[in-house]
Structure 1
Amino acid sequence: MNFKNQTILITGGAQGIGLSLSEKFSNMGANVVIADKHKETANIAQKFGGFGYVCDVTQEEQINSFITFAEQTFGAVHCFISNAGTIFVDPDHVASASNKTWELSWKLHVMPHVYATRRLLPGMLDRKYGYLVNTASAAGLLYQIGDAPYSASKAAAISFSEGIAISHGDEGIRSSVICPQYVASNLLGFSNPQDAKNLEGLLSPEVVAEKVFEAMCREEFLILPHPRVQKYLSKKVADYDRWIDGMRKLKKKSIDKRGSAKPLDILHLV
């Protein structure tokens, strides 16, 4: 797939993976419009030759306004990359996070994909072409110890992406879901992408963006920037009980070595 002169919208595009993707697609000749809650989104986009729009992706009307802005600027939207998200930490047991946290996780990790698809899909079906890409996480495939709301909502995002591919793949609609593992971004408290060099398995946003771009050019559905995730997933499917036992051992190892089993503790062990 060639993205030159195509209009690509990216949420969460002012930082982390979203920013690196925005810069990559802009460099490849695409018309890039980003959305982010960052008040400097327009200025950030201008630096790589794109357009920016301040947007809260948990609000459907704001996503609709963002898409309308892009359509008025460039015409039909060819590709939408729904990318915003955040992590949480279980205060105690697996169900100990508040209802507010669970609801926010769903509103941030699932509904923006639904809102964008609801707004764009009818026009894409009329044109018999469109590409809808959702950022989920390896946590949605494998589970993130210490963060049940994040893991559950990311699993739902993967399932919704599968629904797009199954329901509309024969009608010209392409769908991909991005499932990175750990990325050196502000989301995990890494202000310097070079931190990725210091921890095995931690990738910089730039490396992730390059891998995602290459996979999108091939129109792959499941995009795994960390190759080892495929190996873990294969082991999980082959023997679910053994995989769960292994995850229990990983949790115990984290508690023994680091004093807790929060997401950032697990990062140092995988």
Structure 2
Amino acid sequence: MNAFTGQGAVVTGAGHGIGAALATALAAAGARVVVNDLDADAAREVAESVGGVAVPGDAATEEGVADLVAAARHALGTIDLYCANAGVGPSGGPDADPKVWELCWDVNVLAHVRASRLLLPDWLERGRGRFLSTVSAAGMLTMLGSAPYSVTKHAALAYAEWLSATYRHRGIKVHALCPQGVRTRMLDSTGEAGKVLLTPTAIEPAQVAEAALDAMAADRFLILPHPEVADYYAARATTPDRWLDGMSRLQQAIDSREESA
């Protein structure tokens, strides 16, 4: 028996990419899985493939999160693990449309807040529960070309840290999953920035899921499928100007590629 046998797990954004890989890996490890995605057909397809239950819908809005949690409890009895995996990564800077910023806050941050608000009372009463936040290495570093994504992923990491610091002594396990490039549809949409920063070291979603399950089984907070991110994070913290100079050079390389395209 492993840490996930018989556990009731919810995975948002599980119709594709990392979410689908998490659902698949959890089911293979013996968990009972609820598959959530805005893409109803994709959610049903993944759920059928893993022997889980599809609950399509919006995992970001107040109403959508409430409906998902209620449906998952009905299907599973109890929710032992909630994977807040759904995310959006539009491009843009301060000029991005306010609606783009609002969407990023809703999906990348407030979805986690809204889910934990509903999950924590039961978990605290039982003295156990597990919350996985798919953050991205952008939450530890930055993502050139997308201020909304970078800012909200930093906030997602901050919220996961806060949850862990506040509730870990009461049996709540929190994990921040921070991969760099992953071969998904989101990577395909990142343009030249993605080609420079992410594509060269991109890994498969299944590798991310494997790292996530290993880290959760060991109760590790920070999950780095790309181990080199730890070195980048340390450089950012200890030599910030040098790190920013390096990021600026990467931005210049991106600019040059875009100009020559």
- Normalised by the size of structure 1, how large is the TM-score? 0.89
Q: CA RMSD in A?
A: 1.6
The superposition leaves residues 208-230 of structure 1 with CA deviations (integer Å, 9 ceiling, x where unpaired) of 11111111111111111111111
Paired amino acid for 1:26 = A
Q: How does 1:179-190 map to 2 (within 5 A)?
A: 179-189=178-188
8 A contact 2:135–2:153 mirrored in 1:
yes
Aligned to 1:254: 254
The superposition leaves residues 68-126 of structure 1 with CA deviations (integer Å, 9 ceiling, x where unpaired) of 11211221111100000121111xxx311111111111011001101110000000000
Structure-1 separation of matches of 2:94 and 2:63: 31
SS in 2 for 1:54: coil
Deviation at 1:47, TM superposition (A): 1.5
Aligned to 2:162: 163
Aligned to 1:35: 36
SS in 1 for 2:39: coil
Aligned to 2:63: 61
Structure-2 separation of matches of 1:105 and 1:82: 14
Paired amino acid for 1:5 = G
Aligned to 1:48: 50
The superposition leaves residues 184-223 of structure 1 with CA deviations (integer Å, 9 ceiling, x where unpaired) of 0111228xxxxxxxx5310111111111111111111111
Aligned to 1:15: 16
SS in 1 for 2:130: strand
- Normalised by the size of structure 2, how large is the TM-score? 0.92
Aligned to 2:192: none
Structure-1 separation of matches of 2:9 and 2:59: 16
Deviation at 1:253, TM superposition (A): 2.1
Aligned to 1:131: 130
Structure-2 separation of matches of 1:74 and 1:235: 43
Structure-1 separation of matches of 2:158 and 2:245: 24
Aligned to 2:226: 226
Aligned to 1:193: none
Identity of aligned residues (%): 34
Structure-1 separation of matches of 2:255 and 2:59: 36
SS in 1 for 2:152: helix
Aligned length: 250
Paired amino acid for 1:188 = L
Is 1:235 the equivalent of 2:231?
A: no
Structure-2 separation of matches of 1:101 and 1:43: 29
Paired amino acid for 1:86 = V
Q: Any stretches of 5+ residues in structure 1 without a counterpart?
A: 191-198, 266-270
Q: Any stretches of 5+ residues in structure 2 without a counterpart?
A: 190-198
